[in-house]
Amino acid sequence: MSNATVVVVTSGKGGVGKTTTTAAIASALAKEGYQVCAIDFDVGLRNLDLIMGAERRVVFDLVNVVRGEASIKQALVRDKKLNNLYLLPASQTRDKDALTEEGVASVISELRMYFDWVICDSPAGIERGATLAMRHADEAIIVSNPEVSSVRDCDRIIGLLDAKTKIAEDGGRMPKHLMITRYDTERAKTGDMLATDDVVDILSVPLIGVVPESKDVLKASNVGLPITLSDENSPAAKAYTEAVRRLLGENIPVTIPEEKKGLFGKFFKGRAA
Amino acid sequence: MNILSLFGKRGESASVAKNRLQILLAHERADDGSDAVLISSLREDILAVVAKRVAIDPDSVRLEMDRTGDVTTLGIDIELPSAKAS
């Protein structure tokens, strides 16, 4: 029987933090004790394996499963730290039609039986890979930077979520959550960056979290650990952990965790800006 | 930190960004492709009317739609051949 909640992490624009968000959310959910599977839909340009530190253990991938060349259980890669967290990697094939609508439908419905949460990492763009990633989702996390092109692309994606998904075609409405990443409180305060309220106003999607710009995100990706596992005290990790509590239904106000800075750090930050 | 921020001058680029996005997205959300169809049929009709009196190059008729706030304007620009040439 299906019991998993399928979440798509999507944005339209590339480089805004979909993969970072997928890895962070999936591992934070796993830390809560849920059975979690993260799927990389970016066929041809897979990277979730690298961000999760599983790149050397990938044998089979999503395309092998869709083509019937491997079973789902063979293709799933278990996380090295959390034994209830799994990754279904994308393939590196250059054939962009490698994923079929029916194939993806059957993979998702099988995963629903094994897991509590299935987190789909969408490729950038609005083409096949992106529409297949969102197709069977129960909820969507829309990732945006506080920047005009990213916000505009999110608006396109919201249009697709309300038109091209199974839920939409069945007359329902996709529940959506907005995750703002690479946020700089200082710059928003001085009016040089769109503030969280501005982005929420424009997109009319409720906020699930605000991830501050943080050096820890790059450090975590360097060592192949989701930010929520590499450094729990990092402001970015805190933001993701809070977002997961909201995803789980907790009604807590959105805060913007900040880097702790001494007087010395503040002085130099002021100088560098 | 520039000298202006020392005097507490707030940047305004974020509110410009918000305004631009709100106007753009209002149009993009409403755009079902009907504008393009309308422009192209108008262009053909105008071309036919003008061509009854003046020999013109079909490429010399330009239609532009410009939307500012609630007002939409239609601009028609027809390049007529010089008297000598005709």
A240 in any annotated domain: yes
Distances B23 to A14, A36, B26, B57, B81 between C-alpha atoms, Å = 23, 40, 5, 35, 38
The CATH number covering residue A219 comes to 3.40.50.300
A132 in any annotated domain: yes
Determine whether the interchain pair A191/B21 forms a contact, defined as Cβ–Cβ distance below 8 Å: no
Structural domain that includes position A150: 3-246
* Candidates B6, B15, B18, partner chain A, best to mutate (most A CBs within 10 A): B18
Q: Nearest CB to B12: which of A152, A159, A191?
A: A191
pTM of the model: 0.84
d(CA A226, CA A143): 16
Residue closest to A259 by CA, chosen among A185, A194, A208: A185
Determine whether the interchain pair B25/A202 forms a contact, defined as Cβ–Cβ distance below 8 Å: yes
pLDDT in tens, B7-61: 555 678 999 999 999 988 988 888 777 777 888 888 888 888 888 988 888 888 8
In chain B, the residue whose alpha carbon lies closest to the alpha carbon of A193 is B14
Q: A60 with A180: CB under 8 angstroms?
A: no
Q: What is the pLDDT of residue A265?
A: 53
Q: Which CATH number fits domain B19-79: 3.30.1070.10, 3.40.640.10, 2.40.160.20, 1.10.10.10?
A: 3.30.1070.10
Q: Nearest CB to A192: which of B13, B22, B29?
A: B13
d(CA A163, CA B35): 21
In chain B, the residue whose alpha carbon lies closest to the alpha carbon of A146 is B14
Determine whether the interchain pair A192/B14 forms a contact, defined as Cβ–Cβ distance below 8 Å: yes
A252 in any annotated domain: no
Q: Give the position of tokens 């250059």.
A: A94
A257 in any annotated domain: no
Neighbours of B21 (CB within 10 A): 22
**CB < 8 Å & 24+ apart, contacts of B21-30:** B21/A148, B21/A151, B21/A152, B21/A202, B22/A201, B22/A202, B23/B69, B24/A152, B25/A152, B25/A155, B25/A202, B27/B67, B28/A152, B28/A155, B28/A156, B29/A155, B29/A159
The full DSSP string for A126-174 is SSHHHHHHHHT-SEEEEEE-SSHHHHHHHHHHHHHHTTSSHHHHTT---
A267: chain B residues, CB-CB within 8 Å: none
* Candidates A148, A200, A205, A271, partner chain B, best to mutate (most B CBs within 10 A): A148
Q: What is the pLDDT of residue A273?
A: 38
pLDDT in tens, A24-34: 999 999 999 99
Mapping DSSP to helix (H, G, I), strand (E, B) and coil, where does residue A87 land? strand
Q: Among residues 189-248 of chain A, which lie with CB inside 8 Å of chain B?
A: 190-195, 198, 201-202
d(CA A90, CA A60): 9
The total number of structural domains that make up chain A: 1
ipTM: 0.82
Cα dihedral across residues A142, A143, A147, A152: positive or negative: negative
Mean of the pLDDT values across residues A57-78? 94
B14: chain A residues, CB-CB within 8 Å: 188, 191-195, 198
